[in-house]
Amino acid sequence: MRVRGSDLWPAALTRDLVTETHYGRMLRGYPRRPRTLADMLDRAADRVPDRDAIVAPDRRLTWRELRAEVDRMASGLDVRHGIKGGDRVGLLFLNSAEFCVAVFACARLGAIAVTLNTKLKAPELEFMLQNSGARVLLMHEAVWDEIAPIRARIPCEAVYVAGRAPAGTSPLESLADRSVPPAVAVGEDDVAFIMYTSGTTGRPKGAMGTHLGIISSNVSLERCMGLRDGDRTLVAVPLFHVTGLIGQLLSMALVGGTTVILRTFDAAEALRLLDAERITYMIAAPTVFTMMRQQPGYRATGQSLRAVGYGGAPTPPDGVRALREWLPAATLQNAYGMTETCSPTTLMPPGEELSHISSVGWPVPIADVRTVEVGTGRECQPDEVGELWVSGPMAVPGYWANPDATAATMGDGWLRTGDLAKIDADGYVTIMDRLKDMINRGGEKIYCVEVEDVLCAHPAILEAAVVGIDDAIYGEAVKACVVARAGATVDPEDVRRWVGARLAKFKVPREVAVLDALPRNPNGKVIKSALR
């Protein structure tokens, strides 16, 4: 099954699409878009200079002030270190105004920002800094303990620290230079970011997000979610991920909006900021909204929200219904994307979240998607499950310094996502499982998300993960790992009966483990290998 997003969305969103050549392929694109991230910054600063651009816990920056700080940092990187187009600069920050400044400073010079996860440990950071060849590292003092033991082995000629700078480093503010940053010719197809994948199946791979791919995603969100001039978003997820960085910060740059930043997620503070900062747009993982709904008095908050996106992990149907009950006036849109697609590949059409409650919606207007039978490459029929392949300008052209992984994942112009999905006759995409996580029980295929949705509908269960375990007769059996709601008790036999009343017998868990929490990697994804 193969569908084009431009055939599904209303003509008002698609009639002006253009066909262009990028990465040696013909792709659909949006006209009149900014060409680079620096262009996007300048457009906002020229148009709404005195509007808040960044609202951080410790300070506020208007678009005029943000551009001035960006130019000073870019000048410092140029004057002190000769950073130029294509050079890599490591960014290791908690959510902060400094991170936002650094992102645009790299873009101003045509340099590549290597956005690093602050939850990673020293050996992981060492690999990424060495693999990327980062010449300079800009970071927050809170993460220094992970850099200190590897400082002598990473390629960075200098380390600048926001906060208290340890010996051998320099204060971040000392990087600022008053000279004018050089005028640099940056192309749309040039790499703007290297973002490392989660690494749940081996070494992390550095996905190369281009200016074209990132801005294409920003425009997809603007059109399909109805983002407007002056919107205000609350970032409750890490800015070093595609959701926070591309889906929120850079999308607000596109529309001249405001990004309100939580340094680290706190559900009560998030609810307070929704009202205090009159938030109109938010996108986050389902667990973020679940934790917010566990706070007393949550129902009275957030009514300024107009556009809400959720994704990054399966959203149980009951979670969608609860979100709709909380925010009756907001547009709710499930989204599917990955690091390799610079955020959204699909979005739920407005108003369809309940009628297609398990779907992630349609491919965005510039995307093509198809489902392919694993092992044969045969294109699947409607509603037949296969691996989801994606094409469009938002898909990254490859992995940094990893030609083998690039060839295996991105051959023939199609990105192989590693996700099993089905596409119905109306173009709605439903994600069934990760290819590596599907359970084969005596020839019967079991998609974990189907069982997880049933488990999460149990009144005593807060969240659940399903894995396959060895079975002497059938090869594999189902194991369910669940976390109880506050004050509730989970009885494993009751859980088995609950699933058995709703799904086929072969899908009923052989084992039910009750855990305090599900194990997650630094990117927040459940580590299923630890549950088997």
Which candidate, 433, 465, 484, 474, places its Cα nearest to that of 529? Answer: 465
pLDDT reported for residue 315: 87
State the sign of the Cα–Cα–Cα–Cα dihedral 30, 412, 403, 93: positive
Token pair recorded at residue 252 = 């607000």
For range 143-168, the mean pLDDT: 98
Q: Distance between CA 226 and CA 454 in Å, rounded?
A: 32
**Selected residue with higher pLDDT from 392 and 198:** 392
Give the span between the Cα atoms of 500 and 343, in whole angstroms.
36
200 has pLDDT over 80: no
Give the span between the Cα atoms of 139 and 120, in whole angstroms. 13
Alpha carbon distance 118, 5 (integer Å): 35
pLDDT mean over 430-458:
93
Whether residue 531 contacts residue 439, with contact meaning beta carbons closer than 8 Å, is answered with no
Answer whether residue 298 shows pLDDT above 90: yes
Residue range 51-97, pLDDT digits in tens: 999 999 999 999 999 999 999 999 999 999 999 999 999 999 999 99
Q: What's the pLDDT tens digit per position in 379-418?
A: 999 999 999 999 999 999 999 999 999 999 998 899 999 9
Those residues whose C-beta lies under 8 Å from the C-beta of residue 423, and which sit 6 or more positions away, are 1, 3, 369, 370, 371, 380, 382, 383, 429, 430
The fraction of the chain above a pLDDT of 90, given in percent, is: 93
Query: DSSP code of 340?
Result: G
Look over the chain and give the mean of its residue pLDDT values, rounded to a whole number: 96
Q: What is the pLDDT of residue 201?
A: 53
- What pLDDT, on the 0 to 100 scale, is given for residue 59? 96
| Predicted local confidence at residue 143, as pLDDT | 97
Q: List beta partners, residue 490.
A: none
Q: What is the pLDDT of residues 470-499, one digit of tens each?
A: 999 989 999 999 999 999 999 999 999 999
pLDDT higher than threshold 90 for residue 525: no
Among 433, 447, 517, which Cα is nearest to 476's? 447
CA distance 455 to 178: 58
Alpha-carbon distances of 404 from 354, 375, 398, rounded to whole Å: 41, 19, 10
Q: Is the pLDDT of residue 199 over 80?
A: no
Task: Decide: 505 and 451 in contact? Cβ < 8 Å.
Answer: no
pLDDT band at 314 (very low <50, low <70, confident <90, very high): confident
Q: Are 348 and 334 in contact, with CB atoms under 8 Å apart?
A: yes
The H or E element containing residue 267 is helix 267-276
- Residue, of 260 and 286, whose pLDDT is higher: 260
Contact 423, 371 (CB under 8 A): yes
Query: What pLDDT is recorded for position 313?
Result: 81
Q: How confident is the model at residue 271 (pLDDT cuts 50, 70, 90)?
A: very high
CB–CB of 439/505 below 8 Å? no
Domains and CATH numbers, the chain: 2-430 (3.40.50.12780), 438-531 (3.30.300.30)
Edge-to-edge strands, sheet with 206-210: 170-171, 158-162, 136-140, 88-92, 112-115, 191-196, 206-210
Q: What is the 3-state secondary structure (H, E, C) of 294-307?
A: CCCCHHHCCCCCCE
Distance (Å, rounded) from C-alpha 287 to C-alpha 523? 13
Give the pLDDT score at 202: 66
- The pTM score is 0.92
Contact 30, 216 (CB under 8 A): yes
